[in-house]
Amino acid sequence: MSVNVKRRLDYQPPLYTITNVVMHVQLHATATRIKTVSTVQRVGDHNSPLFLDGEKMQLLSLAVNGEAYNLYSHVEGGISLTEVPDTFELTVETEIDPQNNKALEGLYLSNGVFCTQCEAEGFRRITYFLDRPDVLAKYEVTVSGDKEKYPTLLANGNPIAKGEESDGTHWVTWQDPHPKPCYLFALVAGDFDLLEDSYTTTSGRDVKLELYVDKGKRDKGVFALESLKRAMKWDEDTFGLEYDLDIYMIVAVDFFNMGAMENKGLNVFNSKFVLADQDSATDEDFFNVESVIAHEYFHNWTGNRVTCRDWFQLSLKEGLTVFRDQQFSADMTSALSNRIKHVRVMREHQFAEDASAMSHPIRPDEVIEMNNFYTVTVYDKGAEVIRMFHTLLGADGFRKGMDEYFRRHDGQAVTCDDFVAAMQTATERDLSHFAKWYSQSGTPVVGVSRMYDKQKRTLHISLSQHTPATANQQEKEPLYIPVAFECIDDTGKHYPDDDGLIKDGLVILDKPSVSLMFSDVPESCLPVVLGNFSAPVKVDNPLSAKELLQIFRFADDPFNRWDAMQSLYDWCITQIELDKSVPDSVWKALADVIAAEKDNHELLGECLSIPSFETLCQTRVGVDVAALASARQSFCAQFASELQSALLTVWNGFSSVSYTYKQTDVNARRCKNVALGHLARTADGEALIEKQFAEADNMTDSLGALRAAQSGSAEVFNSLMTAFEQKWNHDPLVLDKWFALNATTEREDILAHITMLKSHPQFTMGNPNRVRALIGSFAFYNPVGFHQPDGSGYQYVTDYLLELDQHNPQVAARIVTPLTQWQNYADKHQQKMKAQLTRLVNHEGLSKDVFEKVSKSLA
Ligand code: ARG
Ligand code: ZN
**3-state DSSP percent of the chain in helix, strand and coil, to 5:** 45, 20, 35
Q: What is the pLDDT of residue 657?
A: 83
Nearby residues of 129 by Cβ (< 8 Å), 6 or more positions away: 18, 36, 38, 52, 53, 54, 123, 182
Ligand positioned closest to the Cα atom of 184: 1
Q: Which atom of ligand 1 is nearest to the CA of 317?
A: 1
Q: Is the bond leading into 352 cis (omega within 30 degrees of zero)?
A: no
pLDDT of residue 41: 98
CA distance 609 to 677: 9
Per DSSP bridges, beta strands 526-529 and 481-488 are antiparallel
Instruction: Dihedral sign for Cα 103, 106, 108, 114, please.
Output: positive
In angstroms, what CA-CA distances link 663 with 30, 329, 337, 675? Answer: 48, 11, 10, 18
Q: Give the DSSP letter of residue 257.
A: S
Rounded distance between C-alpha atoms, residue 167 and residue 182, angstroms: 31
User: Rounded to the nearest whole angstrom, what is the distance from the C-alpha of residue 44 to the centroid of ligand 1?
Assistant: 32
Candidate of 182, 258, 324 to mutate for ligand 1, largest count of ligand atoms within 8 Å of Cβ: 258
Ligand 1 pocket mutation, candidates 123, 261, 300, 316, criterion most atoms within 8 A of CB: 261
- H/E run at residue 695: helix 685-695
Rounded CA gap, 363 and 309, in Å?
A: 12
Report CA(294)–ligand 2 centroid distance (Å). Answer: 10
**Is 471 within 8 Å of 519 (Cβ atoms)?**
no
CA of 374 to the centre of ligand 1 (A): 7
Counting beta carbons within 10 angstroms of the beta carbon of residue 748, is it exposed (0 to 12), middle (13 to 18) or buried (19 or more)? exposed
Close Cβ partners of 513 (under 8 Å, ≥ 6 residues apart): 462, 463, 464, 465
Looking at residue 398, its pLDDT comes to: 98
Atom of ligand 1 nearest to the CA of 292: 4
533: left (phi over 0), alpha (psi -120 to 50) or beta: left
- Return the CA Rg of the chain: 28
At CA 15, angle to CA 14 and CA 19, rounded to 5? 70
| Cα distance between residue 213 and residue 216, in whole Å | 8
* Residues lower than pLDDT 50 in the chain: none
The 10s digit of each residue's pLDDT in 48-101 is 999 999 999 999 999 999 999 999 999 999 999 999 999 999 999 999 999 999
Q: Are strands 206-214 and 247-253 parallel, antiparallel or unpaired?
A: parallel
195: which residues sit within 8 A by CB, 6+ positions away? 210, 211, 212, 213, 218, 221, 222, 225
Query: For atom 2 of ligand 1, which residue has the closest CA?
Result: 261
Residue 602 designated active-site? no
How far does the centroid of ligand 1 lie from the alpha carbon of residue 274, in Å? 16
Distance CA 476, CA 467 (A): 6
| Residues in CB range of 767: below 8 A, 6 or more apart | 254, 255, 732
Instruction: Confirm whether the ipTM is greater than 0.95.
Output: yes
Angle made by CA atoms 170, 174, 180, in degrees to the nearest 5: 145
Rounded Cα gap, residues 493 and 476, in angstroms: 38
The alpha carbon dihedral of 591, 593, 596, 601 has a sign of negative
Q: Which ligand is nearest to the CA of 370?
A: 1
pLDDT at residue 187, as a whole number: 98
In degrees to the nearest 10, what's the CA dihedral of 701, 703, 704, 708? 140
Name the burial class of residue 476, with classes exposed (0-12), middle (13-18) and buried (19+) by CB atoms within 10 angstroms of its CB. middle
Taking the CA of residue 299 as reference, the ligand 1 atom at the shortest distance is 4
* CB 118, CB 182: distance < 8 Å: yes
Q: Whose CA is nearest to atom 11 of ligand 1?
A: 371
Three-class DSSP labels, 180-239: ECHHHCCEEEECEEEEEEEEECCCCCEEEEEEEEECCCHHHHHHHHHHHHHHHHHHHHHH
Residue whose CA is at the smallest distance from ligand 1 atom 3:
261
235 closest CA partner among 322, 286, 297, 287: 297
Does residue 34 contact residue 108 with C-beta atoms inside 8 Å? no
**What CA–CA distances, in Å, run from 611 to 553, 562, 606, 773?**
20, 11, 10, 22
- Residue 399: how many CA atoms within 13 Å on its side-chain side? 10
Q: Which of 105, 210, 262, 296 is catalytic?
A: 296
pTM of the entire structure?
0.99
Q: Which residues contact 75 (CB under 8 A, 6 or more apart)?
A: 51
Distance CA(259)–CA(808), nearest Å, equals: 16
Exposure of 115 in the CB half-sphere (CA atoms within 13 A): 29
pLDDT at 655: 79
Q: Which pLDDT belongs to residue 419?
A: 99
Give the number of whichever ligand sits closest to the CA of residue 302.
Answer: 2
Ligand 1 shell residues, CB under 6 Å: 117, 119-120, 257-258, 260-262, 295-296, 318, 371, 374
Distance 322 CA to ligand 2 centre (A): 7
Sheet order of strands, 247-253 included: 192-200, 206-214, 247-253, 266-270, 260-261
Closest residue by Cα to atom 5, ligand 1, is 261
Burial 762-775 (b: 16+ CB within 10 A, else e): bbebebbbbbbbbb
Please return the burial class of 202, using the count of CB atoms within 10 Å of its CB with bins 0-12, 13-18 and 19+.
exposed
Q: Residues 370, 5: contact at Cβ < 8 Å?
A: no
Burial class (CB in 10 A: 0-12, 13-18, 19+), 464: middle
- Ligand with an atom nearest the CA of residue 317: 2
Q: What are phi and psi of 708, to 5 degrees?
A: -60, -45
Beta-carbon contacts of residue 118 (< 8 Å; ≥ 6 apart): 105, 106, 126, 182, 183, 184, 185, 186, 263
pLDDT reported for residue 369: 98
C-alpha to C-alpha distance for 464 and 511, rounded to whole angstroms: 8
E strand segments, 390-495: 413-414, 445-453, 458-466, 481-488
C-alpha of residue 517 to centroid of ligand 1, in Å: 48
